[in-house]
Amino acid sequence: MNKAQNIYDNQEFFDGYKKLRDNQYSANNLEEKPALFSLAPDLQGKSVLDLGCGYGENCAEFKSLGATTVLGVDISEKMLAVATAEHSDIEFIRADMSDLSFLKGKYDVVFSSLALHYIEDFGTLAKNIYSLLNAGGYFIFSQEHPLTTAPIAGASWSRDSEGNVLHYNLTDYARSGRRSTMWIVDGVEKYHRTFSEIVNALVEAGFTIEKMLEPIPTKETIERDKSWEKDLHKPNFLLIKAKKPLSD
Ligand SMILES: C[S@@+](CC[C@H](N)C(=O)[O-])C[C@H]1O[C@@H](n2cnc3c(N)ncnc32)[C@H](O)[C@@H]1O
């Protein structure tokens, strides 16, 4: 297995990503976060693990929704420096989530928001998360949509002579594996998996799938800025709510 890349500690990437996230009209704010939180069960009194927690924003939200224990894990020192400065009441650990053997407790809910497409071996991770969950617990995650991660040359659109989007250029869908893309900087490593590979990895780990979401922009978002209409051709994100059954 390749060593996990830690691109968020690259200063140029970190600064560029911060700029994207500071935009109130980011796809995270308009599409991904509302979908993620719509999948959350009642968190009152629950223990929560957040894998790839970044700035710890979601961790703080889980706490305000009643979670009693919240642990954020991230590989990036720079992301965790922001997280600890902004959320001093939450515990954060710097680690690569590909190896979770350092975690000894059990959790009611494991969340992961937009981090799993950086992980090479999703099957092993799903099994590890399954064993960290209490019976009846949930694994809820978002990732880049498989149609986004598919093209080896990077996501692109066909446009008419006036620049209007005609369609998404889907290629390489069935060629799963590592992608090296230009996103803020060159050489950002991600992993493409097909829908069936994602779903089958969860099923093989023992999960049942309760819900999947592929959020699209609201009517108001499209009215405010027509460029969002292209997400109706291809959603940006895939979200899955998977449950560990009450008995194996
Ligand atoms: C797109 S950011 C999302 C941050 C946060 N979950 C959110 O939604 O605001 C992805 C995060 O995943 C982290 N990450 C990437 N690979 C990781 C790995 N192997 N182990 C732990 N964290 C990782 C990055 O450092 C980064 O903070």
Please give the domain boundaries of the chain with CATH numbers for all domains: 7-243 (3.40.50.150)
What local confidence, expressed as pLDDT, does residue 26 receive?
Answer: 94
Ligand 1 atom nearest residue 4's Cα: 19
Give, in order, the Cα–Cα distances in Å from 206 to each of 107, 180, 196, 242.
Answer: 16, 31, 15, 10
Nearest by Cα to 111 from 201, 178, 32: 32
Find the 45 Cα to ligand 1 centroid distance in Å. Answer: 25
pTM for this model (two decimals): 0.97
Do 240 and 138 touch, CB atoms closer than 8 A? no
What local confidence, expressed as pLDDT, does residue 247 receive?
Answer: 80
Nearest CA to ligand 1 atom 24: 52
Nearest by Cα to 54 from 94, 23, 27, 20: 94
Q: Which two tokens stand for residue 228?
A: 């969002």
Q: Which two tokens stand for residue 191?
A: 């992993």
Find the 44 Cα to ligand 1 centroid distance in Å. Answer: 25
- Buried b or exposed e, range 23-39, using 16+ CB within 10 angstroms: eeeebbebbbbebbeeb
Q: Measured between alpha carbons, how far is 36 from 240 in angstroms, rounded to an integer?
A: 9
Ligand 1 atom nearest residue 21's Cα: 9
Nearest CA to ligand 1 atom 4: 54
Nearest CA to ligand 1 atom 17: 75
Query: Which pLDDT tens digits describe the chain residue by residue (248 residues)?
Result: 678 899 999 999 999 999 999 999 999 999 999 999 999 999 999 999 999 999 999 999 999 999 999 999 999 999 999 999 999 999 999 999 999 999 999 999 999 999 999 999 999 999 999 999 999 999 999 999 999 999 999 999 999 999 999 999 999 999 999 999 999 999 999 999 999 999 999 999 999 999 999 999 999 999 999 999 999 999 999 999 999 999 86
Choosing from 33, 37, 73, 75 the residue with most ligand 1 atoms within 8 A of its CB, the one to mutate for a pocket test is: 75
Residue 115 near ligand 1, beta carbon < 6 Å: yes
Choosing from 7, 17, 118, 190 the residue with most ligand 1 atoms within 8 A of its CB, the one to mutate for a pocket test is: 118
Residue 98 near ligand 1, beta carbon < 6 Å: yes
What local confidence, expressed as pLDDT, does residue 153 receive?
Answer: 94
Neighbouring C-alpha atoms within 13 Å toward the C-beta of 168: 21
